[in-house]
Amino acid sequence: MSPESLLQILVGGVAVGSIYALIAQGFYITHRTTLTLNFGQGDFLMLGAFLGLTLVKAGVPILFTALIVVAVLAALGVLLERVAIRPVGHLTLSWVLTTMGFGVIIQNVATAFWGKSSQSFPSLVGGKVVDVIRVAGVGIVVEELFIIIASILIMGGYLFLLNRTLTGKALAAVAFSRDTAALLGVDVRRMAILVYAIAAILAAVSGILVGPITSLHPFMGVKFAIKGFAAGIMGGFMSPVGIWVGGILLGIIELFSNLISSQFGDLYPFLIIILVLIFRPSGLFRDPTSR
């Protein structure tokens, strides 16, 4: 295999991995604060993509589309927190099932509106089906580039939020000890709503970015949720950098596994994750502030 081809695969891995990182980043913010996450995050992403698709095809300019989709999904995220998270608490793993159930409902709403088959999503820039940029003999689709950049920006945003802003400190405080944070005047309930809104917004943005380069259909969410979850687990849910690295790693492992053995290619990522967890039960990256 020529070095050029290897580089192409590497870049492809980073691109796919960035999608996983985006999903994992959606998990991160809610898990950090409430020790729960939205297992239907993939379905939120799917909904964001479909909504974006409908608006774009109706002629709404891309910027307005993004704003509308973000707003709708943020509202949905708040609803999710109210209906699927708050009543069940974080002690048992009930929220895994409630958020999944919510996701299933979203899937069915989507099939009711858009049917069950795959849809086409036009490129975000220009009219071509696939908009490719060539650098050093390696082709990269424009949306892939956007996604990579977006995931890095979000990681940076998290680092800034958590380390530099008061809200970020409040979020970390709630994660550390709910009751203490409440006693110190942090509105714990509002924090929970906030993080679920943020996660939903991330899903919206991811959906619009991912739509053009993936097979878009109402049941695509589960696959992304599992991969994003695996990425977060591998990197460790404790650090924004870890989450991002976990995603990129997973994408690269996935593509290179397919290169080595296209028949069992999807086996290796799972085996590797199991191995990682055996040696590092809380993921590759530890919490920088942990005891």
Binds other proteins by CB under 8 A, chosen from 59, 126, 179, 291: 291
Residues near 221 by beta carbon (within 8 Å), at least 6 away in sequence: 40, 41, 42, 43, 44, 45, 46, 103, 106, 107
Give the C-alpha distances (Å, rounded to integers) separating 261 from 5, 17, 256, 258.
Answer: 16, 19, 8, 5
Binds other proteins by CB under 8 A, chosen from 94, 152, 159, 241: 94
The shares of helix, strand and coil residues in the chain, as percent rounded to the nearest 5, are 70, 5, 25
**Interface pattern 32-71 for other proteins (x via CB under 8 A):** -----x----------------------------------
Residue 264 phi/psi, 5° resolution? -110, 15
Count of residues for the chain?
Answer: 291
Contact between 101 and other proteins per CB under 8 A: yes
3-11, 149-157, 160-168, 181-189 -> range binding other proteins (CB under 8 A): 3-11
Contact between 141 and other proteins per CB under 8 A: yes
Binds other proteins by CB under 8 A, chosen from 60, 72, 78, 100: 100
Using the minimum distance from each CB to other proteins, give the nearer residue, 240 or 246: 246
Supply the minimum distance, in Å, between the C-beta of residue 116 and other proteins: 5
Binds other proteins by CB under 8 A, chosen from 83, 172, 193, 241: 83
Contact between 5 and other proteins per CB under 8 A: yes
68-76, 90-98, 154-162, 198-206 -> range binding other proteins (CB under 8 A): 90-98
Give the closest residue to 231 by CA, choosing from 284, 169, 179, 161.
284
Using the minimum distance from each CB to other proteins, give the nearer residue, 203 or 273: 273
57-65, 153-161, 173-181, 262-270 -> range binding other proteins (CB under 8 A): 262-270
Give the closest residue to 206 by CA, choosing from 44, 36, 33.
44
Using the minimum distance from each CB to other proteins, give the nearer residue, 12 or 240: 12
Could you say which residues in the range 191-220 bind other proteins, by CB under 8 A? 213-215, 217, 219
Could you say which residues in the range 120-139 bind other proteins, by CB under 8 A? 120, 129-130, 132, 134, 139
Give the DSSP per-residue string, 38-90.
Answer: -TTHHHHHHHHHHHHHHHHHTT--HHHHHHHHHHHHHHHHHHHIIIIITTT-S
Supply the minimum distance, in Å, between the C-beta of residue 175 and other proteins: 14
Binds other proteins by CB under 8 A, chosen from 233, 243, 249, 252: 233
Helix (H, G, I), strand (E, B) or coil at 173: helix
Q: Which amino acid is at 61?
A: P
Could you say which residues in the range 270-289 bind other proteins, by CB under 8 A? 270-271, 273-274, 277-278, 281-283
Q: Report how far residue 196's alpha carbon sits from residue 36's, in angstroms, rounded to the nearest whole number.
A: 10
Helix (H, G, I), strand (E, B) or coil at 187: coil
Q: How many CB atoms lie within 10 A of CB 113?
A: 12
Contact between 72 and other proteins per CB under 8 A: no
Binds other proteins by CB under 8 A, chosen from 56, 84, 198, 204: 84
* Cα radius of gyration rounded to whole Å, the chain: 19
